Structure 1
Amino acid sequence: MASCEDTQKSKIKNTGSSSSNTITKVKDSSENKINSSKKKKDKLFLHDEPMLVQEKLIPFLTEYGKKNTENKIRISTRFGDIDIVLYNDTPLHRANMILLIKEGYFNGTFFHRVANGFVIQGGNSDNKDTSIKRNNIGSYLIPSEFEAGHRHTRGAFSAAKYAEQNVSKASSPFEFFIVQSERGAHHLDNDHTVYGKVIKGMDVVDEIAKQPIGEGEWPLINIPITVEILK
C-alpha cells in the first residue's frame, strides 16, 4: 500500500471508501446515536457558505492557530480512546485539526479504512451529513509541512492527501491516519505530513486494525468516532 488517500471524490455514494467498487456494510447502532446526539452541537451545519477558501487559507489558519493553542486531542470509539498530541512545528495542520474539532466535523465520521499491519484511517463516512459538512467548511488543501522532519513511526498521526493532480503533496483537511505497523511506514515520509503522535491508546489502534474488512478496506461493521480537545 503506497499511500493514504482522501476519499472525498470516490464514486461510492457521497464520501465512500478508497475503492470505486460497491461495499456492503453493516450499520452499527451506535452510529445513529452519535449522529443524533451531536447534530445540534455541530456548528458547521449553521454556515450558509464555505468557511474557508484556498486563497485565504494560510493567513486564516496562522491567525487561528495563534488564538487556539490547544495541542492534545482524544478520539473516542467503542473500542476505547486514543489520545494524541499535535505538533506545534506543523502549525497549519494543528490549527486545521483544532478548527474542525471545534466545529464538530468529526463527530459521526468513521475509521473507514483498516489495513492491519499498516494504518487505520479516519475522518470520512458514507453519511450525507459528512458531505454536507465538507461542503460547508470549504474545498481546500493544506500545504505540506515536511520541513518539521517528523517520520512515519508506529503511532504517527498523519494527513491523508488527494492522489490526483497533487504534485505539491498537499494534505486533505478532513482525513487522517495512524501508523499501526511496528516497523513504521517510512515509504510515506515526505509524501504525507506527520503532525502528531499517539501518546495513549495504541492498544485501541491495534484492536481496530484487527476488525474484519470488505472491499476497499472498509470495516464490515462501521467504527464511528467522536473527537474532542483535551487541552
Structure 2
Amino acid sequence: MIFQNLRYLAMIVLILALACGETPKEQTSESIDIITEDSLNEVTKIVQQKDTSVIEEKEPFVLTEENAIDFFFDYQKGLPTTRIKITTSLGSFVVELYDNVPYHKANFIYLTKKEYFNNTMFHRVVKDFIIQGGNADNRKTAAKRREIGRYLLPPDTRKGHKHHRGTISMPSSEIDNPHMLASPYEFFIVVTKPGSYHLDGNYTPFGRVVEGMDVVDLINQQPVDDGDWPSKNIYITKAEILK
C-alpha cells in the first residue's frame, strides 16, 4: 500500500512540473512510467535507509564484568562528597560515602540515581551484628538488576576504614568468588558496639551512618525467622541523594 501511494505521489509531482513549464515537450506514457519508476526507486531507497537507522538504534547500556570498572572509573570523576538518605518502613537514616573508595562510592550513587534501591528490603537481620539490604524476593527487583547489568566490584580494603558501628560496607558475592569480589546491589550496616573488626580486610567499608542510627538499631531489633529474614518485611521505600 505504501509503495502504491508513493507511485501516485511521484506522478502528481511530475504532472505539476509539466504544468509549470512554458513549452513542455510531449511525453509518452512510456517516458512517464520510466520517470515515475525512477522517482519511486529513489523514495524507496530513502525509506529503506530510515528503516535501517531505526533497526540500528543504540541498545540500552548494560553493565558487565568487562565494562564495569572502566565505566565507574569515568563515572566517579568529579563526584562530590555525597550523603544519601535511605527511607525505610521503620524510619530514615543518612549515610555519608567515603571519597577514597571511588568504585564502591560511584556504584552506590549510580544505583541510587537509577532508583534501584526503591522498594527493595532489608532481607537479612543478624541481632547485634548487622542489617543487610538491597534485595527482595520479587520479580521487579530481579528485572531492575537485569536492566542495569550483571557485574561484581573488586575489594578495596586498604584505605584505612574499619568496620566500626554504623559503617556501611559491601558483602562479597557467594557465587564462584575466590577473590571476594563485592556484590554491588547489596550492602550491610554494622550494629555491633564498638564494631565488628573481624570483617576488616575481607569486605569494603564505603561509608558511615551520620544520622538516624536509632532507626538502624530499630531494624536490627525486629523478629526474624531461622534464615535471618525479618518476620515482617522491612522495605526501603526510597534512597535519595542529598544536595
Give the distance between the partners of 2:240 and 2:126, measured in 1 at CA.
24
**Deviation larger for 115-124 or 57-66:** 57-66
Q: Which residue is equivalent to 2:198?
A: 187
Say whether the 8 Å CA contact 1:48–1:136 is kept in structure 2. no
The 5 Å alignment of 1:62-211 reads 62-69=73-80, 71-211=82-222
Structure 1, 103-112 or 56-65: larger mean CA deviation: 56-65
Deviation at 1:58, TM superposition (A): 1.4
TM-superposed deviation, 1:50? 5.8
Identity rate of aligned residues, in percent?
Answer: 45
* 1:69 shift after superposition: 3.2
Q: Which residue identity is paired with 1:127?
A: N
Instruction: State the AA in 2 paired with 1:55.
Output: E
Query: CA offset at residue 70 of structure 1?
Result: 5.1
Structure 2 partner of 1:230: 242
Write 1 or 2 for the structure with the bigger share of helix: 2
- Higher RCO (C-alpha 8 Å, min separation 6): 1
Deviation at 1:57, TM superposition (A): 1.4
State whether residues 117 and 134 of structure 2, in contact with CA within 8 Å, keep that contact through their aligned partners in structure 1.
Answer: yes
Distance 1:222 1:58 in 2: 33
Residues 123 and 230 of structure 2 are in contact (CA less than 8 Å); yes or no, is this contact kept in structure 1? Answer: yes
Higher alpha-carbon deviation: 207-216 or 66-75: 66-75
Q: Return the TM-score normalized by structure 1.
A: 0.76
SS in structure 2 opposite 1:54? coil
Q: Which residue of 2 aligns with 1:41?
A: none
Deviations 1:48-99 (A, max 9, x none): 6562111111121011111543511011112221100000100000000000
Q: Which amino acid aligns with 1:135?
A: R
- Structure 2 unmatched runs, 5+: 1-57
Distance in 1 of aligned mates of 2:59 and 2:139: 17
Give SS of 2:77's match: helix
Give CA-to-partner distance per residue, 1:130-169, whole Å, 9 cap, x none: 0011111111111111121211110010001112322221
Counterpart for residue 42 of structure 2:
none
The 1-side partners of 2:86 and 2:59 are apart by 28
Further displaced range: 151-160 or 183-192: 183-192
- Residue 93 of structure 2 aligns to a residue in which SS? strand
Q: Report how many residues are paired.
A: 185
| Partner SS, residue 112 of structure 2 | helix
Is the Cα–Cα contact under 8 Å of residues 84 and 241 in structure 2 kept in the other structure? yes
C-alpha distance in structure 2 between counterparts of 1:189 and 1:163, whole Å: 18
Question: Greater shift after overlay, 154-163 or 65-74?
Answer: 65-74
C-alpha separation in 2, matches of 1:216 and 1:48: 39
Rg bigger for which structure? 2
Aligned partners of 1:115, 1:169: CA distance in 2, in Å?
Answer: 21
Q: Judge conservation of contact 2:125–2:224 (CA < 8 Å) in 1.
A: yes
